[in-house]
Amino acid sequence: MAGNGEAPVPVGTKQEQDRKVRRGWQGPARIWEETEQQAKRLRSSEGGGQHRKLPKRKVVLLVAYSGKGYHGMQRNVGSSKFKTIEDDLVSALVRSGCIPENHGEDMRKMSFQRCARTDKGVSAAGQVVSLKVWLIDDLLEKINSHLPSHIRILGLKRVTGGFNSKNKCDARTYFYMLPTFAFAHKDHDVQDETYRLHAETLGRVNRLLACYRGTHNFHNFTSQKGPREPSARRYILDMFCEEPFVREGMEFAVIKVKGQSFMTHQIRKMVGLVVAIVKGYAPESVLERCWGEAKVDVPKAPGLGLVLEQVHFEKYNQRFGHDGLHEPLDWAREEAEVTAFKEQHIYPTIIGTERHERSMAQWLSTLPMHDFSATAHAAAGPGAKVPRPLEGSDGDSD
């Protein structure tokens, strides 16, 4: 006893238990615990253990896509009936090895967020999503290798850990591409692809589009807001129509709009009302009436020509863009790739679909059905409830 320097301890006492813990006593509970830990380590090392050693980092991806054939951007988890852009994107992220498979099943685990929820058929040249990924080698190439050609990741940048692409976005810029015969007057202009937009008509279009600038109550430009809801007030920084151009014998024009945020179908209704006025179906005074509380019948232009062109992060760039750790989110270096994608996938889809399906011509034929002279007063008065269908959106949508 004197050799080990320890006095005998009664069996079962707390002092004996403490000594067993210090010596690493292999009781049944401890043996089971260690076996379970070894099993967990073994499972983690199979098919991805190497990736787990890599740090996960918050990044943003610049995404471009042609929206034809998709039911919008946002994924509908658990529903395979309506395919979305995010279905293909998340699948490519998992298959490339930059996120684990369970993150694909629950996107919250990778802190996934998109800047804008684009509606069915709407395309994007500058969508931005934020998420946490493993920074594996050749990340963009590996993701793109699992994507169809009409969806592309054009850029990647590191961002701050708490970055959220929707909340940090200051503004969104969309463009709406349409055949110029949409502006042909119903009484004294040709109504087909031989029409060419006159300078005075373009001037009138831009004068009307300028009426949208500033802060207005846009409740008449969505089905989701009542006239007295504060969130129906939106700020439009600019809206104008560019010079027309001819593609495949048909003349097109591009309307650009930049705003802080947009509600469901807001942009398509803004375009639709201006078209109705220029064609002679609606008086210019209807624009002023739209800002009031009464319900106005505003037509909704087709979704085909709508494209999310750019999202803006001015405040984030001012604070973090030049701090020596992060890059500004301006995508200037990717501009050539964005332009090439629009030329290869977005413009041809809009032009080809318009020529074969004639979505704009068919929609124009419905304009006489709208009653622009009357105002649809809600029977229950200004406080009446407005229906809120579950639809997609032109932009970010509340």
Q: Where in the chain is the domain with CATH 3.30.70.580?
A: 56-168
In which residue ranges of the chain is CATH 3.30.70.660 found? 171-321+328-369
pTM (2 d.p.): 0.81
Determine the pLDDT at residue 107.
Answer: 87
pLDDT at residue 47 tops 50? no
The reply, when asked if residue 174 is annotated as ligand binding, is yes
Catalytic site residues? 119
The confidence score (pLDDT) of residue 39 equals 40
CATH class of the domain at 56-168: alpha beta
User: Mind spelling out the 3-state secondary structure of the chain?
Assistant: CCCCCCCCCCCCCHHHHHHHHHHCCCCHHHHHHHHHHHHHHHHHHCCCHHHHCCCEEEEEEEEEECCCCCCCCCCCCCCCCCCCHHHHHHHHHHHHCCCCHHHHHCHHHHCCEECCCCCCCCEEEEEEEEEEEECCCCHHHHHHCCCCCCEEEEEEEECCCCCCCCCCCCEEEEEEEEEHHHHCCCCCCCCCCCCCCCHHHHHHHHHHHHHHCEEEECHHHCCCCCCCCHHHEEEEEEEEECCCEEECCEEEEEEEEEECCCCCCHHHHHHHHHHHHHHCCCCCHHHHHHCCCCECCCCCCCCCCEEEEEEECHHHHHHHCCCCCCCCCCCHHHHHHHHHHHHHHHHHHHHHHHHHHCHHHHHHCCHHHCCCCCCECCCCCCCCCCCCCCCCCCCCCC
Q: Which fold has domain 171-321+328-369?
A: Alpha-Beta Plaits (3.30.70)
pLDDT for residue 396: 52
Least confident of 9-18, 77-86, 226-235, 368-377: 9-18
Q: Please tell me the predicted confidence (pLDDT) of residue 10.
A: 53
pLDDT band at 383 (very low <50, low <70, confident <90, very high): very low
Of 37-41, 112-116, 184-188, minimum mean pLDDT range: 37-41
More confident residue, 392 or 186: 186
